[in-house]
Structure 1
Amino acid sequence: MRVLFAGTPAVALPSLEALRAAGHQIVAVLTRPDAPLGRKRILTPSPVAARAAELGLPVIKANKVDAEAAAAIAAAAPDVAAIVAYGALVPESALRIPAHGWINLHFSLLPAWRGAAPVQHSVINGDEITGASTFLLEQGLDTGPVFGTLTESIRPTDTSAVLLERLSHSGAMLLVQTIDGLAAGALSGVPQQGEISLAPKLTLEDGHVHWDNPALAISRRIRGVTAEPGAWTMLGGQRFKLGPVQLRTDVMDLEPARLRVDGKAVLVGTGSHAIELVDVQPSGKKLMKATDWARGLANKEDVVFE
C-alpha cells in the first residue's frame, strides 16, 4: 500500500525499515521539526527525519498536524498512515485522509497504559508482562479498535530503554502484519476490553528517588526512568544522578537515605532493606562507578541523600 509514515525518535526506525522491506511504498514521512541538541544547542533533525533524508523520502516536518501539514499529507495520497511515536495528536480532519485510517503501534497491551510513556509506567509499576498493540487511531487517547497484539516478558534487570528497544523490533513486525492484513482485506479491529490504566509523559520529578520507599519500588522506579528522564537524588544541594541499582536484602540495619561503604559495596538505606549503587553521576561530572565516586569521599559516614 501507499503508506504515510509518522514518527520521530529512534524507536520508530525499525518500523520504517520493516515497512519498506515488506514492499510497501512510503509516500511521505511526517516527523517533528529539528530540535536543539547538546550543550551547543545545535538544531538537529529527528532520527526519523535523518533516515528519511538518507532514503530520499519526502519529509513533512510539523509540531502538529495543522492545515498545512494536512494538505501535504493529502497531496501524498496515502492509502494508510502508520504512526509510531510521532509525538503529537492527529485531528479528526486528518484522520479521514487515508482510506484505511491511521494505524498506531503502541507499546502496551491496550487498554493497559494508554498514553505517552507506556513502557516506563509498566516497569515502574512492576508488571511482569507487557507487549505492543496496533490499533486504529481515533480522537480518544489510544481508545481505538485493536488489530493485533504481541506479548513480551519484563526481565528483572530491564530498564525502560532496553525493553523499548526490544519492543521496537518485535512491534515493527506486528505493524507490517497489520498493514499487510488491511491491504488484503483480511483484518478488522476489535474493541478494547479490560482494565484501563494511564501512562502520562514522565517529568523530571518522576525520577526523584524517595528513600523512605521500599527498595524494590525504588529499583523499579530507577529502571523505569532510565534512560529518560533519568533517576536522581539530592546531595549537598545538587542533583546526583543514579543508574540502575542492586537489591541487598541482607542489609536491614541502614536507615533510609544514609550511605554506607562496605568493602567494595556502596550501600544506601531505604524503607525496607538496602540497595547497592552501581553507576552514579555527581553534578558536573561524567557517569562513573559508585565505588570510584565513594573512594573520594572524605566523610562517608556523614553522607545522607535527600
Structure 2
Amino acid sequence: MRVVFAGTPEVAVPALEAILASRHELVGVVTRPDAPAGRGRKLLASPVGQRAAELGVPVLKPAHPRDPEFQAELAALRPDCCPVVAYGALLPQSALDLVPHGWINLHFSCLPAWRGAAPVQRSLWAGDEVTGATTFRIVKELDAGPTFGVMTERIRPTDTSGDLLARLAEGGAGLLVATLDGIEDGSLEAREQPEDGVSFAPKINPEDGEVDWSEPAVAVDRRIRACTPAPGAWSTFAGERIKLGPVEVTDDVLPRGELRVGKRDVLVGTGTSAVRLGEVKAFGKKQMGAADWARGTRVESGVVFGGPLDASQ
C-alpha cells in the first residue's frame, strides 16, 4: 500500500521509521513548515522533516493543508492511505477526500477518553492508572472518528508525561503499522466510538504549570509530572520563577508553601503532607538538586514558595 506519513515532533519519529521498515511503500511525508529555534532563531525543520530528509523521502511542508498547491502535490503522490502522528494542523474535508483509505491517526489515549491536544498530560494529571493509544480514521469532529485498534499502557507512579509519551510512541508505532496491514488486507473494520466515556484534553499552557501549594500532595505531584518536560512546572521564590522537577510525597506536615531546608533535601508544605523537591532550576541558572539550590541561594527554613512574581521575569 502506498502511504504518505504526516507528523511533526520527535514523538512521531518512531512511527515514521516503523512504516519505513514495514511492507508498505512510503512515498512522501507531510510536516509543519520550518520554524525558528535556538538563540539564533534560525529556521529548522521539524524532527519528522529532518528524519525524512535523511531517509531521502519527499517532504511536503504546507503552510496549511487546505492550500490547493499542497493538495495537488499530495494527489500526485497517489497515496492509498495517510497515517498521522501529531501532525499539528487541522485537515479540511478536501484533503481527507483525496485519500481512498483515509487519514489514519495514532492518538495517545484510549478513545473516547481524552480527545484533544494533551491526552498524556491530562491522563497523568487526572490520576489514571492506565492509558494507551488508539488508531482511528480522521473525520471533521475532533478525534471522534471510527477506531481500528487500541493498545494499553500502565501508568507508573513516577512517570512524567515525557516518560509515558516515549513508551506510547514506541508501542503505538507498532499499532499503527498493524492497522495499515489490516486495512490493506481487509481484516480490520473501523468501529464507531461509543457515546459514553468521552472526555477532552485541551492544551496545557505555561500558566497551568504553576503549582498551587494549597492542593493535596498527590495533586501537586500529578501536576508536576504532567507538566514535565513541557510546558514545565513552576513556583515563585524571591520574585523569580523557579522551575520544578518531579517531587516525592512524604509523611511530614508543613504549612502550605513553607520550605524546610535540610543538608540533603528540601521539603515544601502542601494542603496535606509535604513533598520533597527533586530538581529545580532558578531563572538564568542550571538545573540542580534542591539541596544544592538551597545552599547556593542561602534559602532558610520557614520561607514560603509562591510569592509575587516579578513582572520582568
TM-score with structure 2 setting the length: 0.95
* Equivalent residues in 2 for 1:67-86, closer than 5 Å: 67-86=68-87
Alpha-carbon separation, structure 1, partners of 2:172 and 2:108:
8
Q: Deviation of residue 74 (structure 1)? A: 1.0
Measure the CA separation in 2 of the matches of 1:299 and 1:246: 20
- The CA deviation at 1:69 is 1.8
Q: CA offset at residue 124 of structure 1?
A: 0.6
Once the two structures are TM-superposed, the CA of residue 21 in structure 1 deviates from its matched residue by: 0.8
Aligned partner of 2:178 in structure 1 is 177
Q: Is the 8 A contact 2:261 2:299 kept in 1?
A: no
Name the residue aligned to 2:209.
Answer: 207
- Counterpart-to-counterpart distance in 2, 1:297 and 1:94: 55
Moved over 2 A (4+): 296-299
Indicate the SS of the match to 1:65.
coil
Say whether 1:105 aligns with 2:111.
Answer: no
The match for 1:154 is 155
Asked if the contact 1:6/1:82 (under 8 Å) is kept, the reply is yes
Checking the alignment, whether the CA contact within 8 Å between 2:31 and 2:62 is kept in structure 1 is: yes
The reply to whether residue 58 of structure 1 matches residue 58 of structure 2 is yes
Matching of residue 139 in structure 1 with residue 146 in structure 2: no
**Cα distance in 1 between the residues matched to 2:186 and 2:299:** 70
1:160-183 alpha-carbon deviations (Å, 9 max, x no partner)? 001000000100000001000010
Q: Which residue of 2 aligns with 1:303?
A: 303
TM-score by length of 1: 0.97
For 1:62 and 1:215, the matched residues in 2 are separated by 45
Q: Which whole-Å deviations, capped at 9, do the CAs of 1:108-165 have from their partners, x for residues lacking one?
A: 0000000011001000110000000000000000000000001000000000001000
Give 1:232's match in structure 2, choosing from 231, 234, 237: 234
Bigger mean CA offset, 40-49 vs 165-174: 40-49
Q: Is 1:269 aligned to 2:253, yes or no?
A: no
**Residue 39 (structure 2) aligns with:** 39
Consecutive unaligned residues in structure 2, runs of 5 or more: 307-313
Q: Which amino acid aligns with 2:230?
A: E
Q: 1:244 matched to which residue of 2?
A: 246
Shift in alpha-carbon separation, 1:201–1:63, aligned structure 2, 3 A: farther
What SS does structure 2 have at the residue aligned with 1:300? coil
SS, match of residue 212 in structure 2? coil
Query: Residue in 2 aligned with 1:27?
Result: 27
Question: Superposition RMSD on alpha carbons, in Å?
Answer: 1.0
Whether the 8 Å CA contact 1:31–1:49 is kept in 2: the answer is: yes
Q: Which residue of 1 aligns with 2:120?
A: 119
Q: Percent identity?
A: 56
Supply the AA of the counterpart residue of 2:216: P
**Partner SS for 1:186:** coil
Change beyond 3 A, Cα 1:143–1:299: closer
Cα distance in 2 for residues equivalent to 1:293 and 1:260: 13
CA distance in 1, matches of 2:19, 2:165: 19
Match of 2:293 in 1: 293
The aligned amino acid for 1:5 is: F
Give the secondary structure class of the aligned counterpart of 1:150: strand
**1:49 corresponds to 2:53:** no
Deviations 1:249-273 (A, max 9, x none): 2x02x11111111341200000000
CA shift for structure 1 position 305: 1.0
Distance (Å, rounded) in 1 between the aligned partners of 2:15 and 2:115: 20
